[in-house]
Structure 1
Amino acid sequence: MPKDAAVEEFARLVRALKARDGRSYEALGRRLSVSASTLHRYCSGATVPEEFAVVDRLALLCGADEEERRALAAAWTEADRARRRAAPPAPMSAPTSVPPPVPTPVPSAPEPSPDPEPTAPKPTPAPEAPLPRPRRTPSLPAPLLVAGAVVLVVLALAAALLGRPSRTPSAPAPSPQREQPVPFTWAVGSQLWQGGCGHTYLVDRAPRAVAPPPVAADAGAWAGAHGAVHGGETLVRVTLQGRSPSTAVVLHALHVRVVGRAAPPPWNAYRTGSGCGGAVTLRHFAVDLDRPRPLARPVDGRDASGEEPRTIPAVSFPYKVTASDPEELLVSARTAGCDCRWYLELEWSSGDRSGTVRITDGGKPFRTSGTAGRPAYAFDTVEGRWITDAESGQSG
């Protein structure tokens, strides 16, 4: 098979996968850790990826079966061979000529210096007048001299203890080095609802003192005004983006750190919505805060909006982000019997640098509390008030 035909066959299969999925180059590239332009070059045949792994992830993302993945692997193998055969050989550098040695000039004999001109004899200085004798100062007795020396030593020690600056010149203190900023930015959203439809809050107020439930966009202001705590679950969205367009940041791991555990407060539970079933379940990291050492466990998403449901692969580390290819990490932390305070730690590396960033709720730990046994209320839009589940059943 000619090399251009092998590349075109591979590109045709990649285009078919992209067309089946229906998402844009940018949306698919973000999930594959490649730019939209790179994925477009794969589909057009302008570029063949050096590794099959990125194409295999595309196949899984687009719902390809085992037979389609084997055909794609065979097409990539032929296209990769064609790419290697078509690669031009590295140019050989021409030999450099050695310049002829430069002759060292022979220094000429120095010219004789002219005879010095005769100088006039110096005049004999006149005899100086005798200096006046210094007036003799009467000497102090030896005991006074010793006492004065002791006083000077005591004063010097006192100055040292009081931290007076020394008169002896010293080298200036080195200026502190400025730390380099982390090579990526991140933003945190912690007032999220499942599917944007509803959420449960614990509030230390009677129903008549609680305002009607807000829309999802105003959840942060409503929760802050009522001193509300996430009931049962906290959803955290972390948006990450590299600072430099030419330098990638590799994310290696996501850790959960619990800094406080207590019994859930005896507050009322208020549900802001009845929930709604969505056709798309987002991929996320599930955290069980009731475990002694909670872990961030990656969970696949599910898209049931098409004729056949398909799986959205979970984020697996290591994961790469750049300035043009940001990423969102969704964390679902749940508890049944704990008033937990916790935060996240994200390990990263970029070039020869590495580190860990702490992700918090505006500088404070996230807080999630269980709701078991707490009075639960839902809002009755007809009567315009919060009612219990029992009242809701009687009214129905």
Structure 2
Amino acid sequence: MILASALSVTVLSAAACTATSSSAGSGGGGDSSAGNTADYYQQPKDAIVQDFNVAKVSVGGLDVNASVVQGLGCPNLSALGWVYPSSITPGLTSSDRPGAGPTHAGKTWDQAPAAFGVVAPSPVAMDLVLTSTSDNAITLAAPDVHVLSTGAQIKGLWLNITGGCGAGPCNPDPPKTYYDLDKPYPYLLSGSAVPDGLGDCGTDYPSTIPPHGTFTVELLVTTEKCDCRWDTRLSWVNGTSKHTLTVNDAGKPFEITSVKGNPAIMWEYSGTGKDGWVSSQYTP
């Protein structure tokens, strides 16, 4: 017997890592003389990454928690900024600090990224926490990434806002599973095919989840060629039952674009007043 289900992940937007408190209202572009980062850039409190388990379903003897963190913020929290298509906002330049530059519906690029048609840069990380509710051992196949459509890489500025972030490129807890959408299906990388610098954090499949045990993994999806729309499908066996679960973005595919050749700018607040923003070349 094969049972199929779907899990829609509501993508969690990461806030800037500099959590400066302020009485200023949310949004950039203020002109307070207090000099706090939040006077010029303040995400809503509910956008700060507190809990990665932002979507959950119980099916086939598993509690599946899934999250994808995207947006402006710390790279070590998988927040790699956004690519802003030049076709939508050709007037946006690398010198436009947070709270400045062209607007859509009265909002600047940092205040309302979605209005600028942003796309997540490669790589995109999906965190999965699978907790068994079964008395059986569960056998999990390798997560199956499906590319649903491809197009040319998005051209435009790759922008991020951050501060006070630390981290290494690979944390072995949770382990990683790597996918390169430029390779032939099933895109899965292992061994020497894993890009240099990511470390030895791979996961072997099939994996066994013991009765009432927990399995945690981060899927890292990359591309250097395309603007790709994709989802991932989990398959496992619990006793004699086979189960599948599709994980997508609130009923839509996830989207990722290569950033090859795009100008990459990191903005960080390191002073006072509106001139306190400093930019640098972004190399996450």
TM-score, normalised by the number of residues in structure 1: 0.42
* Higher-helix-fraction structure: 1
Alpha-carbon distance between aligned partners in 2 of 1:356 and 1:379, rounded to the nearest angstrom: 42
Radius of gyration: which is bigger?
Answer: 1
Give the C-alpha shift of residue 315 in structure 1: 2.2
Deviations 1:238-274 (A, max 9, x none): 1111233x23321023222111100122332103348
Question: Does structure 2 conserve the Cα–Cα contact (< 8 Å) formed by 1:251 and 1:318?
Answer: yes
Alpha-carbon distance between aligned partners in 2 of 1:294 and 1:200, rounded to the nearest angstrom: 27
**For residue 189 of structure 2, what is the aligned residue in structure 1?**
297
Please tell me whether residue 233 in structure 1 is matched to residue 132 in structure 2: no
Aligned CA distance change for structure 1 residues 231 and 313 (closer, same or farther; 3 Å) = closer
Alpha-carbon distance between aligned partners in 1 of 2:238 and 2:265, rounded to the nearest angstrom: 49
**For residue 288 of structure 1, what is the aligned residue in structure 2?**
180
Deviations 1:215-254 (A, max 9, x none): xxxxxxx76576432112101111111233x233210232
Give the C-alpha shift of residue 295 in structure 1: 2.2
Q: Which runs of 5+ in 2 are unaligned?
A: 1-57, 101-107, 193-198
**For residue 245 of structure 2, what is the aligned residue in structure 1?**
357
Please tell me whether residue 250 in structure 1 is matched to residue 139 in structure 2: yes
**For residue 203 of structure 1, what is the aligned residue in structure 2?**
84
Letter in 2 for 1:373: G
Alpha-carbon distance between aligned partners in 2 of 1:388 and 1:376, rounded to the nearest angstrom: 8
How many correspondences in the alignment? 191
Structure 2 counterparts to residues 7-26 of structure 1, below 5 A: none
Deviations 1:283-342 (A, max 9, x none): 311111112324223469xxxxxxxxxx97632122122563111121111111200111
* Higher-strand-fraction structure: 2
Question: Does structure 1 conserve the Cα–Cα contact (< 8 Å) formed by 2:69 and 2:79?
Answer: no
Letter in 2 for 1:211: D
Overall identity of the aligned pairs, in %? 19
Structural RMSD (CA): 3.3
**For residue 332 of structure 1, what is the aligned residue in structure 2?**
220
Question: Does structure 2 conserve the Cα–Cα contact (< 8 Å) formed by 1:360 and 1:366?
Answer: yes
Question: Does structure 2 conserve the Cα–Cα contact (< 8 Å) formed by 1:243 and 1:322?
Answer: no
Letter in 1 for 2:176: H
Q: Which has the higher contact order (CA 8 A, sep 6+)?
A: 2
Deviations 1:85-127 (A, max 9, x none): xxxxxxxxxxxxxxxxxxxxxxxxxxxxxxxxxxxxxxxxxxx
Please tell me whether residue 319 in structure 1 is matched to residue 207 in structure 2: yes
**For residue 3 of structure 1, what is the aligned residue in structure 2?**
none
TM-score, normalised by the number of residues in structure 2: 0.57
**For residue 182 of structure 1, what is the aligned residue in structure 2?**
60
Aligned CA distance change for structure 1 residues 385 and 337 (closer, same or farther; 3 Å) = farther
Question: Does structure 1 conserve the Cα–Cα contact (< 8 Å) formed by 2:139 and 2:207?
Answer: yes
Alpha-carbon distance between aligned partners in 1 of 2:254 and 2:234, rounded to the nearest angstrom: 15
Alpha-carbon distance between aligned partners in 2 of 1:368 and 1:203, rounded to the nearest angstrom: 12
Letter in 2 for 1:191: V
Alpha-carbon distance between aligned partners in 2 of 1:315 and 1:325, rounded to the nearest angstrom: 17
Question: Does structure 1 conserve the Cα–Cα contact (< 8 Å) formed by 2:69 and 2:77?
Answer: no
Please tell me whether residue 381 in structure 1 is matched to residue 269 in structure 2: yes
Give the C-alpha shift of residue 380 in structure 1: 3.9
**For residue 369 of structure 1, what is the aligned residue in structure 2?**
257
Aligned CA distance change for structure 1 residues 251 and 198 (closer, same or farther; 3 Å) = closer
Q: Which runs of 5+ in 1 are unaligned?
A: 1-179, 213-221, 301-310, 391-396
Letter in 1 for 2:122: G
Please tell me whether residue 266 in structure 1 is matched to residue 155 in structure 2: yes
Question: Does structure 1 conserve the Cα–Cα contact (< 8 Å) formed by 2:78 and 2:125?
Answer: no
Alpha-carbon distance between aligned partners in 2 of 1:374 and 1:226, rounded to the nearest angstrom: 16
